[in-house]
Amino acid sequence: MKNSLHHIISASQFKKSDVFRYIANARRFRTESAESSVSTRFQGKTVVNMFYEPSTRTNCSFQAAAHKLGCNVISLTEAASSSKKGESLEDTIRTLGCYAEAIVLRHPERGAAHRAAKASRIPIINAGDGNGEHPTQALLDVYTIYEELAAFGLNIDSPLTEITVCFVGDLKNSRTVHSLVYLLGLLANVRFIFLSPKSLEIPQMLADIQIANGHQVLINTMSLDEALPLCDVLYMTRIQKERFATEFEYETVMANRRDYSIDGERMERAKQQMIVMHPLPRLDEIAEEVDKDPRAAYFRQVENGLYMRMAILEQLLEIHASIYVDNPMHANSSSSLSGEQHNT
Amino acid sequence: MKNSLHHIISASQFKKSDVFRYIANARRFRTESAESSVSTRFQGKTVVNMFYEPSTRTNCSFQAAAHKLGCNVISLTEAASSSKKGESLEDTIRTLGCYAEAIVLRHPERGAAHRAAKASRIPIINAGDGNGEHPTQALLDVYTIYEELAAFGLNIDSPLTEITVCFVGDLKNSRTVHSLVYLLGLLANVRFIFLSPKSLEIPQMLADIQIANGHQVLINTMSLDEALPLCDVLYMTRIQKERFATEFEYETVMANRRDYSIDGERMERAKQQMIVMHPLPRLDEIAEEVDKDPRAAYFRQVENGLYMRMAILEQLLEIHASIYVDNPMHANSSSSLSGEQHNT
Amino acid sequence: MKNSLHHIISASQFKKSDVFRYIANARRFRTESAESSVSTRFQGKTVVNMFYEPSTRTNCSFQAAAHKLGCNVISLTEAASSSKKGESLEDTIRTLGCYAEAIVLRHPERGAAHRAAKASRIPIINAGDGNGEHPTQALLDVYTIYEELAAFGLNIDSPLTEITVCFVGDLKNSRTVHSLVYLLGLLANVRFIFLSPKSLEIPQMLADIQIANGHQVLINTMSLDEALPLCDVLYMTRIQKERFATEFEYETVMANRRDYSIDGERMERAKQQMIVMHPLPRLDEIAEEVDKDPRAAYFRQVENGLYMRMAILEQLLEIHASIYVDNPMHANSSSSLSGEQHNT
């Protein structure tokens, strides 16, 4: 049971109680940060950020989070690593496990984090694996929804609360959306509204899970203008050109991009007590003029990422220490290299 | 008034008293460094180095300076960041402001640092914006001139001191020269000698400002051989191929590159009490044999960069702390995202 | 005499007593690590990792080692540095010497580390120079052999001990093999077995040195199957495509790559008390199934790298401190720039 938390691979590994424990810890770090308290608790521990794809937010927030816990950080990109020489992901992970206490991994292939976890003797945190999952983004998104809706008197930890969350854009390929939809379904009574071009619809399996769990799911049954007055949370995403097989398909979708974008005028249709979120980076799906609207929560969402990632790292480093401190020579047992004991 | 120091964007934002305060602080750090004293004063603070162009000196010296103040550093390049996904500079800056206490920015576009400062809620330090400015290089250059000429009995903080400074090379595109000429004009009575190929002359506006301030300005009125015996400071620069529209123009200039270069023999024409400076990297405009000449100050100039950048970071982090500590939740006020309160 | 240890350039600079002192210190760090003790001994010191070629193990283990000694780390790649602007290696090294207390250098050109040391006023550690040397890898390899064979009752610090070490693969271009063969020859009575394709044989000079020192040297006198039962240490290497002049030569060699590879079946021919080593990364010369064999020592070898690099950095930082603390203004003497005083 405990083992299932050695790695952070998928939103589906969390129970409701796990999520609220992370939220409580993230809130504690926010308070401590406001008091400028400095931690040396994990001094001498090392976190490796191994990013095979570019990233600003996820990479920097994990680095900042590790620093604020007192850890050292080693930051690697594919270009600077031995993967250029044909080394397998597994061998790279086994190597990094000799120098560090946790690995934050972003990789272009779906399933890469799971493969890494199987090979690793230290905790792996999935920071995005292709069009698979992005569970730490989902946790920080849930934390943001929790904080922001609480300010409106909506408490998502109550079974009586009902909220409407509308996802807009590329719902097929967004790993962030996949992970978040799963987590939200655990926490509250949610009406999901999914709005996307036909070719970028939410995977049917994900929708079916939410329906089976008793949530209401509406896929492209209305326009964004019709959905806006209903939303407690509007979750925007970027439509990525590289996801399309042909230029023609992309152009077809983008011809209607206004249907999946917001600006100041459109925001007039939304409630006063609602929030707009976006995992960022954005292109033009949110006009810059919306930034000044108090309902624009996406930069507060960025800041919440720092505290949530501190909470995630804290828990993994504590579990890791409790397992390994008693057996410091574990590295020299060949069985530890198979990594099976960590397999979730 | 105080706000004008929240960011370091342009040499033109400094008054004479600002420059001498920075010099005094840099000298203090040099003394402390000699005593191997270690600071933990800004422990828990984070500085982000965001470099969209390559750099060895500026990047490393800011990293080393931040470390020596007890800060953590996150180092980003364009290739590893979300700018690859089409994110605007402003959104990247807003994001980094959620994780750090200061941003050091190098960018290929003139004006980028100013745009960044408008969007940022934390201090921006312009570490070079295209062919615009490089104000921290100018500060360390002035510090170097102050220290080195003081050893010859020339005190540039006295209104009675007159010095001759000769700039050589690409004076049109060198952001370092632009920032330094401005600062020097504030501090002492300077005779400026500008020597360059015709197509790379100092911008007329910069020369006019110095003339209006009562300084003597000589643009290509003599050869380098004629100028050398007059110089207290000889400031060499690199002629960069990429600045030329055609290969032919470049070749034409380089055919005469001996006119803008020095070697051991030519140095015999210079005074015994003078210094040679260069922002580096150099190509062949200073022969390696000159390195052993005690007048070659360019590697002492490099070291001075460390102490000056400590002085700059110290001041920004102190101002930042005094503003924000009392209002730690500033991030959640949407108005703070417009960044206008920081606009210089 | 003392000066010869200011830099780590070549395995040939070490005496037998040096090697065993490094091993003793590495073992001490392993013990301290097991006790989770945290060092702040070199707090405020900075190590620069300057890697002109990609690396996972060497780069990360030096970063982790520096952190564990309490140092700060600045990590640079060629793409992000001024070498892109035509700066010489020497000038880059002189610059880094103004910000740091040691430089770890990987460079594609043989002899680069020696050139760097001549220009440097702070210690240079050669982390691989083209097909030249990789002395810190050799030290960690010797440390691994020492530890692992001691468990079998073979003490390589005794002049009576005789061991058989078989090197397999590209023995012409592997800098790791070159450095290790040299060191091993100092320490024990060694029977060297070299197995490689004809075009990738061990340089004759290296073999001759070992023969002159009284060791037995066998170059391609048997097959890997014949050698396996004799080995105390089997040292595998990767055959690198980029080393071949033509695709045809490479394909010819690779047609016989089974002759230079091991798998579980082949390992049945080896003794029970022997170890398999590899500097990594590996391609297919060691099948993954071998990882579970207790004789597979290559990931223990990786971990040993951390402790050995702590021992190396510790010694250099101590020597550096003892020389420079008394003369903190050394930077301002032009003679220190020539670097000749560091030349080994």
Q: Nearest Cα to C4, choosing from C108, C93, C182, C135?
A: C135
- Residue A36: the pLDDT is 78
Q: Three-state SS for A297?
A: coil
Residues from chain A contacting residue C36 (CB–CB below 8 Å): 44, 321, 325, 328
B106 a catalytic residue? yes
Q: Are strands C233-236 and C162-168 parallel, antiparallel or unpaired?
A: parallel
Q: Nearest Cα to C123, choosing from C328, C322, C333?
A: C322
Is C334 in contact with B51 (Cβ distance < 8 A)?
no
Token representation of residue C103: 């430089």
Is B43 in contact with A38 (Cβ distance < 8 A)?
yes
Token representation of residue C34: 């097991």
Catalytic residue among B45, B58, B68, B238: B58
- Over range B198-223, report the average pLDDT: 95
Angle of helix A57-68 versus helix A298-324 axis, rounded to 10: 50
Q: What is the rounded CA–CA span in Å between residue C316 and residue B339?
A: 47
Is C302 in contact with A80 (Cβ distance < 8 A)?
no
Is B83 in contact with A56 (Cβ distance < 8 A)?
yes
Is C334 in contact with B293 (Cβ distance < 8 A)?
yes
Strand order in the sheet with B162-168: B216-219, B189-195, B162-168, B233-236, B275-277
- Over range B111-125, report the average pLDDT: 96
Residue recorded with tokens 């002629």: B239
C342 a catalytic residue? no
Is B100 in contact with A64 (Cβ distance < 8 A)?
yes
Residue type for position A330: H
Token representation of residue B170: 């690409």
Q: What is the pLDDT of residues A113-158, one digit of tens each?
A: 999 999 999 999 999 999 899 999 999 999 999 999 999 999 998 8
Is C92 in contact with B56 (Cβ distance < 8 A)?
yes
Could you say which DSSP state residue B328 is in?
G
Q: Which residues pair with residue C75 across a beta bridge?
A: C49
Alpha helices by DSSP H, chain B: 16-34, 57-68, 89-96, 112-119, 135-150, 175-187, 204-212, 224-227, 247-255, 264-267, 298-324
Token representation of residue B335: 């108005």
Concatenated DSSP letters of B95-106: HHTTT-SEEEEE
Residue recorded with tokens 């290739």: B79
Phi first, then psi: give them for residue C65, nearest 5 degrees: -65, -45
Q: What is the rounded CA–CA span in Å between residue C163 and residue C155?
A: 10
Selecting from C51, C63, C300 the residue whose C-beta is nearest the C-beta of A332 gives C300
Alpha helices by DSSP H, chain C: 16-34, 57-68, 89-96, 112-119, 135-150, 175-187, 204-212, 224-227, 247-255, 264-267, 298-324, 335-338
Q: What is the rounded CA–CA span in Å between residue A66 and residue A29?
A: 12
User: CB of B5 within 8 Å of any CB in chain C?
Assistant: no
Q: Nearest Cα to C155, choosing from C122, C124, C131, C188?
A: C188
- Residue C323: the pLDDT is 67
At residue A190's C-alpha, the angle toward residues A187 and A194, to 5°, is: 125
- Over range B118-141, report the average pLDDT: 96
Residues from chain B contacting residue A68 (CB–CB below 8 Å): 44, 46
Query: Is it true that the peptide bond before A281 is cis, omega within 30 degrees of 0?
Result: yes
Contact A189, A215 (CB under 8 A): yes
Residues from chain B contacting residue A280 (CB–CB below 8 Å): 82, 87, 91, 95
Render the burial of B103-124: b for 16+ CB within 10 Å, e for the rest.
Answer: bbbbbeeeebbbbbbbbbbbbb
User: CB of C296 within 8 Å of any CB in chain A?
Assistant: yes
Output the tens digit of pLDDT for each of chain C's 344 residues.
344 448 999 999 999 999 999 999 999 999 998 887 778 889 999 999 999 999 999 999 999 999 999 999 999 988 878 888 889 999 999 999 999 999 999 999 999 999 999 999 999 999 999 989 999 999 999 999 999 999 999 999 888 899 999 999 999 999 999 999 999 999 989 999 999 999 999 999 999 999 999 999 999 999 999 999 999 999 999 998 877 888 898 898 889 999 999 999 999 999 999 999 999 999 999 999 999 999 999 999 999 999 999 999 999 999 877 765 444 444 333 333 333 333 33
Selecting from B48, B79, B337 the residue whose C-beta is nearest the C-beta of A291 gives B337
Catalytic residue among B2, B85, B198, B292: B85
At residue B26's C-alpha, the angle toward residues B24 and B30, to 5°, is: 115
Q: Nearest Cα to A98, choosing from C308, B244, B301, B344?
A: C308
Alpha helices by DSSP H, chain A: 16-34, 57-68, 89-96, 112-119, 135-150, 175-187, 204-212, 224-227, 247-255, 264-267, 298-324
Catalytic residue among C30, C45, C94, C106: C106
Q: Nearest Cα to A50, choosing from A11, A131, A108, A4?
A: A108
Q: Which residues pair with residue A167 across a beta bridge?
A: A194, A235
Residue recorded with tokens 């976190």: A47
Of the candidate CATH numbers 2.120.10.30, 3.40.50.1370, 3.40.50.300, 3.40.1390.20, the domain formed by C11-134+305-332 belongs to: 3.40.50.1370
Contact C134, C112 (CB under 8 A): no
Chain B, 98 to 117: residues with Cβ < 8 Å from chain A are: 98-100
Render the burial of B174-184: b for 16+ CB within 10 Å, e for the rest.
Answer: bbbbbbbbbbb
pLDDT along chain A (344 residues), means of 10: 68 95 96 83 94 94 96 90 89 96 96 96 96 96 98 91 96 94 93 96 95 96 98 96 85 91 98 98 96 98 98 92 53 36 36
Which architecture does CATH list for A136-300?
3-Layer(aba) Sandwich (3.40)
Residues from chain C contacting residue A85 (CB–CB below 8 Å): 54, 238, 240, 281
Residue recorded with tokens 């790379």: B200
Greater pLDDT, B234 or B338: B234
B292 a catalytic residue? no
Cβ contacts of A204-212, under 8 Å, gap ≥ 24: A206/A178, A206/A181, A206/A182, A209/A182, A209/A185, A210/A181, A210/A185
Q: What is the rounded CA–CA span in Å between residue A66 and residue A306?
A: 9
Q: How far is A105 from chain B (nearest CA, A)?
A: 14
The domains of chain C are located at 11-134+305-332, 136-300
User: CB of C44 within 8 Å of any CB in chain B?
Assistant: yes
Dihedral (CA of C47, C93, B66, A65) sign: negative
Do the two domains B11-134+305-332 and B136-300 of this chain adopt the same fold?
A: yes
* Other beta carbons less than 10 A from residue C81's beta carbon: 23
User: CB of B43 within 8 Å of any CB in chain A?
Assistant: yes
Ramachandran category for residue B169: left, alpha or beta (phi over 0 → left; psi -120 to 50 → alpha) = left
Contact B134, B180 (CB under 8 A): no
